[in-house]
């Protein structure tokens, strides 16, 4: 399944996304704000719509390369990983800036290993409502994640609950076929890389 999951776009697109992320992180860290750093585990579940990743979760490397991407339908998978968070206080205001790095592994309940890394830049209100956006890098390529959530507190314990959405990308693939004259040829078709909707929970401790 050499082209099904390792379906990156051009390398320069990945490098450009990582470069932009690094610039945003450096800019945030260079501010004069008070910084609080937190970290903790994250676990959840993701719905992946029809596409190469869903095909891999259904059939693994046994997926027939002559089948169309997305032919196996949608897929569910668990997510497990770790979150690092930096909070940028503004001196007592009602909103704080947040920067998150999240490393997750999906597919383990099926004996598969699908790692991903996400960087989120956003904000959280003093009532716990939070939202953010940032790039995601996985074996299926690069995409943008949009997230909202609520941070429940119990003393110094934070219990964030988040919903994240990453839209799929429209791509073109080809399959091997034979024409009416019995000649070997390729047939092009359009497919989507697969959108992802995740529900994640976790915890961390404020100092």
Per-residue pLDDT averaged across 102-118, rounded? 92
Q: What is the CATH number of the domain that holds 117?
A: 2.40.160
137, 17 in Cβ contact below 8 A?
A: yes
In a domain, 157, yes or no: yes
pLDDT tens for 10-46 read 444 555 565 566 556 555 554 545 677 888 999 999 9
- Give the integer Cα–Cα distance in Å for 174 and 195: 21
pLDDT score of 3: 45
The answer to whether position 86 is within a domain reads yes
Number of domains in the chain: 1
pLDDT digits (tens, 9 = 90+) for 151-165: 998 888 889 999 999
Within a domain: 90? yes
Domain residue limits at 162: 11-169+195-205
* 2 part of a folded domain: no
Residue 174's pLDDT band (cuts 50, 70, 90): confident
Q: Residue 8 above 50 pLDDT?
A: no
Q: What is the mean pLDDT of residues 4-15?
A: 46
Do the domain assignments include residue 187?
A: no
CA 171, 48, 106, 39 dihedral sign is: positive
pLDDT at residue 34, rounded to an integer: 62
- 178 domain-assigned: no
The answer to whether residue 207 scores a pLDDT higher than 80 is no
Structural domain contains residue 189: no
In the chain, the percentage of residues whose pLDDT exceeds 70 is 75
Residue 186 counted as domain residue: no
DSSP states along 91-138: SS-SEEEEEEEEEEEE-GGGT--EEEEEEEEEEEETTSEEEEEEEEEE
| C-alpha to C-alpha distance for 107 and 95, rounded to whole angstroms | 36
Name the percent of the chain lying above pLDDT 90.
38
Mean pLDDT of 44-52: 93
């Amino acid at each position: 399944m050499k082209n099904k999951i390792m379906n990156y776009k051009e390398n320069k697109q990945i490098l450009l996304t990582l470069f932009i992320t690094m610039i945003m992180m450096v800019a945030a860290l260079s501010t004069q704000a008070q910084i609080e750093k937190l970290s903790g585990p994250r676990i959840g579940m993701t719905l992946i719509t029809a596409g190469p990743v869903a095909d891999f979760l259904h059939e693994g490397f046994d997926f027939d390369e002559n089948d169309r991407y997305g032919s196996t339908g949608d897929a569910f998978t668990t997510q497990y990983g770790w979150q690092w968070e930096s909070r940028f206080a503004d001196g007592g205001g009602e909103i704080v800036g947040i920067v998150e790095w999240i490393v997750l592994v999906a597919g383990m309940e099926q004996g598969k290993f699908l790692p991903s890394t996400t960087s989120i830049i956003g904000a959280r209100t003093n009532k716990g409502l939070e939202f953010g956006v940032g790039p995601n890098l996985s074996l299926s390529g690069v995409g943008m994640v949009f997230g909202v959530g609520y941070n429940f507190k119990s003393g110094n314990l934070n219990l964030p609950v988040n919903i994240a959405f990453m839209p799929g990308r429209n791509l073109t693939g080809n399959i091997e076929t034979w024409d009416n004259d019995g000649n070997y040829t390729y047939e092009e078709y359009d497919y989507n890389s697969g959108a992802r909707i995740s529900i994640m929970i976790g915890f961390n401790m404020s100092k």
